[in-house]
Amino acid sequence: MEVSVETTQGLERRMTVQVPAERVDNEVENRLQSMKGRVRMDGFRPGKVPLKVVRQRYGAQVRQEVLGEVIQATYSEALNEKDLRPAGQPSVEPTQMEPGQDLEYTATFEVMPEVAVKDLDKVSIKRPDVEVSDDDVEEVLQRLQKQHAEYKAVKRKARKEDRVTIDFHGQVDGEDFEGNTGEDVPVTLGSGGMPEEFEKSLEGIKAGEETTIEYTFPEQFPDEKIAGKTASFQVTAKAVEGPDLPELDDGFAEQLGFKDEGIDGLRQKIRENLERERDQAVRQNVKQQAMDGLLEHNDVEIPQSLLDGEIDHLRNQAKERMRQYGAGDAEPDLPASAFEDEARRRVKLGLLVNEVIRANEIQVDEDRLRETLEGIASGYERPQEVIQYYTQNRQLMEGLEISVLEEQVAEHIAQQAKVEDAKMSLDELMKQQQSSQ
């Protein structure tokens, strides 16, 4: 077999492969001989069909099958011979396929780029330094208190944190639209259950009163018929109820399943949960900065095939989200250009991270993997069932392994980077995490 490779442009290569005729012709002949004893044809006894007849009937079909298999096999052999790593599927074009002559074809494909990670000592990371305060614990406790409030009717005007039960009927340009009516709908003012403007408009209303609320739907609203348009809602307040908060005592703790531990035990559990969330947020924050620094100080040429594949992946994810949020069955028009920047970043980062892993022989830390899984499971009522669910689902475990491996890569970068502690509150840390997602 003869193999030659030429660079067409950038990462694209054109490989010409020439396979001796004997390799194809001998395999074709062997298969026809094998078929001769099994073929059934009118006018011949089973197993007695002459090879000449078998060749006439099946020769072309068998040759096409053999050619496909030989091309596939020799393509892999040629890649190994020339030490090439293709980035995607090749475009194969046969140039000589006649019987008795050497098989020749060209395969055009992109190769994986050469990646060399450098300048990690120039990466700057500000590691969040966060203490979980008593105020943080009390804030969570007060949220739990509000969630368990009992609502009682009031005769005054509605204000923030009250629950207003409403009937509503909305129209856009005088026309009804999907989901434009509701009866006995409870709205807790300030909770975010409805758009902020809608909830704000209900402040000051009393039971039995009617009002008109104008609300403009976002431009990106899933229902294109009303996206960006202003709806007029006729609203009737059927009831206004104020919250009656439970006392933060041992009885409240017992209501939440802390009968023996009491209110102090509940506070301790809240603190432990916040510290676990804090630790996870710090790791994600450092990881984000490490990956950003890795990209900032290293460039790499991207195979177009990998970029196109990532764009398709992101676009399909966006389409699925739109369908889930009620965009309907119509295929949304999402241009590739809308995803190119994010796809380019992901592909670059993937190539660089893989090189860090390869060059430093980083393997998944099994202890950390177990701790991460246990941390996820601890947020559920039956943690052992969650752990079992993960361990029995290979796809979930692979995702977890990738996440842990990326954290290890981030730590490797941080060990060489310039790291400073940055004092901040838990609230500031969580807001940073939300804005980066």
The ranges of the chain annotated as CATH 3.30.70.1050 are 2-110
Residues 6+ apart with CB under 8 A from 371: none
Measure the CA–CA gap between 358 and 355, rounded to whole angstroms.
5
Please give the pLDDT value at position 325. 66
Residues 6+ apart with CB under 8 A from 90: 15, 75, 107, 108, 109
Report CA-CA distances (Å) from 175 to 38, 221, 230, 366: 73, 17, 12, 60
Per-residue pLDDT tens for 231-285?
Answer: 999 999 999 999 999 999 999 999 999 999 999 999 999 999 999 899 989 999 9
Measure the CA–CA gap between 187 and 195, rounded to whole angstroms.
10
* Strand order across the beta sheet in which 91-96 lies: 2-9, 12-19, 103-110, 91-96
Measure the CA–CA gap between 375 and 381, rounded to whole angstroms.
13
Q: What tens-digit pLDDT sequence spans the chain (437 residues)?
A: 999 999 999 999 999 999 999 999 999 989 888 877 777 777 776 666 778 877 878 888 999 999 999 999 999 999 999 999 999 899 999 999 998 899 999 999 999 999 999 999 999 999 999 999 999 999 999 999 999 999 999 999 999 999 999 999 999 999 999 889 999 999 999 988 899 989 999 999 999 999 999 999 998 887 888 989 999 999 999 999 999 999 999 999 999 999 999 999 999 999 999 998 999 899 999 999 999 999 999 999 999 999 999 999 999 988 888 777 655 555 567 888 889 999 999 999 999 999 999 999 999 999 999 999 998 898 788 899 999 999 999 999 999 999 999 999 999 999 999 999 999 999 999 998 888 76
The ranges of the chain annotated as CATH 1.10.3120 are 120-133+261-302+336-436
CATH topology of domain 2-110: Alpha-Beta Plaits (3.30.70)
Per-residue pLDDT tens for 42-54?
Answer: 777 666 677 887 7
Measure the CA–CA gap between 290 and 275, rounded to whole angstroms.
22
Please report, as a single letter, which amino acid is at residue 283.
R
Contact indicator for 250, 257 with CB cutoff of 8 Å? no
The ranges of the chain annotated as CATH 3.10.50.40 are 150-244
* 120-133+261-302+336-436 is a CATH 1.10.3120 domain: yes
**Which of 206, 215, 207, 216 has the alpha carbon at shortest distance from 234?**
215
Measure the CA–CA gap between 156 and 139, rounded to whole angstroms.
27
CATH of 150-244, one of 3.40.50.1100, 3.10.50.40, 1.10.20.140, 3.30.1390.20: 3.10.50.40
Structure tokens at 387: 């752990």
Contact indicator for 75, 270 with CB cutoff of 8 Å? no
| Strand 12-19 to 103-110 pairing | antiparallel
Measure the CA–CA gap between 437 and 431, rounded to whole angstroms.
10
Please give the pLDDT value at position 331. 56
pTM beyond cutoff 0.85: no
Please give the pLDDT value at position 47. 67
**What backbone phi and psi angles, to 5 degrees, belong to 210?**
-120, 155
